């Protein structure tokens, strides 16, 4: 099952986008609707809210007075945290029940206003953020919902800003455009990314890649390669659980200023390859199926035994975000080399420039990414003595786990 997290600032238009996605075939799980259900009159949730905030949050007929509660919490961080501590666990349990009722191959859209604020992005295969400027949202709140300007401003200020939302947005949906343009963009997103992702996930296959190696300059903040890698690593840690001993961004996209293909190389460290096999299915469900075959890193001179360089390799089911996921034994030669090589390039300007020049020459002279990778491989062994010298001189150690 593919899980999409749909979020955005208040009055950005999440409900509009949710409707479009359900018309395309998605199943909606509306966190706000669930949050209302769990505090309906007579529920344990409402009783707990009244105990925390008093009878002033009730209407005359005993229902929750949402405007009154809103005025309390949107100007008081502590009050908002107390409310969240009551409601969020109830919403979580109700959400799980609704997910269990869906078909196994469903595409579930979770309309959750506070994915960013509550650090929930790792719960979803993709996070879709509906964007609209603060001025547009303020006007919508006052004009369409009849809210007082000061109340509307308080609600907007209580939420994350657009910079924080862009950091977690796998997809940013601009909802200030004409509705027909927005609908066309959502339809294209469904056809080119969401539906293929769901099919790949169901089949347990990696999204196809083809074409030559195209080198890019690192993207500008806030959605840098490092930020994207951190978001995916959080999903992988959640999927792999305690068997994941380390999770690191490696490869060219992990080196600031280095040109690279738009492919994130990530590394999970495990105690044994048996542990790698035990979490393979969970990583697949998280969107990173195992690549079939035997995978071995090229042995280096001080570790010639090829068996020591065995690993597992996973890739992206998401056609919109290319990832190579290497699962290696912690403290093994392949795991150590990947981290040392990354840190050497970060620290040594000459080595970084030498590698960048090699990448450019190789990319221009090879037909596809496979040939590009094979053509670079001898260089990694060639620079091995220099890397080892740097490790010794700097007394380098792997990052703390």
Domains and CATH numbers, the chain: 2-203 (3.40.50.300), 225-394 (3.30.460.10)
- Residue 16 assigned as binding residue: yes
pLDDT number for residue 147:
93
Q: Is residue 60 classed exposed, middle or buried when 0-12, 13-18 and 19+ CB atoms within 10 A define those classes?
A: exposed
Query: Binding site annotation covers 15?
Result: yes
- pLDDT for the residue 76: 87
CA 268 to chain centre: 16
pLDDT at 270: 98
What is d(CA 395, CA 208) in angstroms, rounded to the nearest whole number? 41
Residue 71: C-alpha distances to residues 68, 152, 160, 276 (Å): 5, 10, 18, 50
81 is in an annotated binding site: no
Strand 295-296 to 310-315 pairing: antiparallel
**35/95 Cα distance (integer angstroms):** 10
Handedness of CA 116, 120, 122, 128 (dihedral sign): negative
Beta pairing, strands 246-250 & 171-174: unpaired
Separation between Cα atoms, residue 107 and residue 105, nearest integer Å: 7
In order of 87, 105, 124, 280, the CA distances from 102 in angstroms are: 23, 8, 16, 24
Measured in residues, the chain has a length of 401
The angle, 0 to 180 degrees and rounded to 10, between the axes of the packed helices 349-365 and 369-382 is: 150
- Nearest C-alpha neighbor of 240 from the set 199, 273, 284, 178: 284
Residue 14 annotated in ligand binding: yes
> φ, ψ for residue 348 (rounded to 5)?
-110, 105
Convert 13-26 to b/e letters by CB count within 10 Å (16 or more is b).
bbebbbebbeebeb
13 marked among binding-site residues: yes
Low-confidence ranges of the chain (pLDDT < 50): none
How far apart, in whole angstroms, are the C-alpha atoms of residue 378 and residue 148?
67
- Both structure tokens of 118: 């509550």
59 is in an annotated binding site: no
Cα separation, 309 vs 299, whole angstroms: 6
What is the rounded end-to-end Cα distance, in angstroms, of the chain?
31
Nearest to 209 by CA among 365, 318, 83: 318
């Amino acid at each position: 099952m593919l899980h999409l997290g749909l979020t955005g600032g208040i009055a950005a238009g999440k409900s509009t986008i949710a409707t479009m996605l359900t018309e395309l075939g998605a199943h909606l799980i509306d966190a706000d609707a669930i949050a209302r259900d769990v505090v309906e009159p007579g529920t344990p949730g409402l009783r707990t809210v009244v105990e925390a905030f008093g009878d002033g949050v009730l209407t005359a007929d005993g229902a929750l007075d949402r405007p009154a509660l809103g005025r309390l919490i949107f100007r008081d961080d502590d009050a908002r945290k107390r409310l969240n501590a009551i409601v969020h666990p109830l919403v979580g349990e109700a959400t799980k029940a609704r997910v269990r009722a869906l078909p196994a191959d469903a595409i579930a859209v979770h309309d959750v206003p506070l994915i960013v604020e509550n650090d929930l992005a790792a719960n979803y295969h993709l996070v879709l953020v509906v964007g609209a400027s603060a001025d547009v949202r303020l006007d919508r709140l006052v004009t369409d919902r009849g809210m007082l300007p000061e109340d509307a401003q308080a609600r907007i200020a209580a939420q994350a800003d657009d910079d924080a939302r862009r950091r977690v947005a796998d997809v940013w949906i601009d909802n200030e455009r004409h509705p027909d343009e927005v609908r066309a963009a959502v339809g294209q997103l469904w056809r080119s990314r969401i539906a293929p992702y769901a099919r790949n996930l169901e089949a347990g296959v990696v999204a196809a890649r083809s074409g030559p190696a195209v080198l890019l300059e690192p993207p500008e903040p806030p959605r840098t390669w490092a930020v994207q890698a951190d978001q995916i690593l959080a999903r992988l840690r959640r999927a792999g659980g305690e068997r994941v001993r380390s999770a690191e961004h490696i490869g060219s996209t992990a080196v600031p200023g280095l040109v690279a293909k738009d492919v994130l190389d990530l590394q999970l460290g495990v105690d044994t390859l048996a542990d790698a096999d035990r979490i393979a299915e969970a990583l697949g469900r998280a969107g990173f199926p195992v690549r079939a075959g035997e995978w071995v890193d090229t042995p280096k001179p001080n570790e010639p035994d090829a068996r020591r360089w065995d690993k597992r390799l996973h890739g992206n089911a998401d056609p919109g975000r290319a990832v190579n996921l290497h699962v290696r034994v912690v403290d093994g030669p392949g795991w150590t080399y990947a981290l040392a090589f990354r840190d050497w390039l970060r620290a040594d300007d000459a080595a970084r420039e030498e590698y960048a020049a090699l990448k450019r020459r190789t990319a221009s002279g090879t037909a596809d990414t496979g040939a590009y990778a094979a053509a670079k491989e001898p260089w990694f062994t060639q620079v091995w003595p220099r890397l080892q010298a740097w490790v010794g001189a700097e007394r380098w150690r792997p990052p703390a786990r």
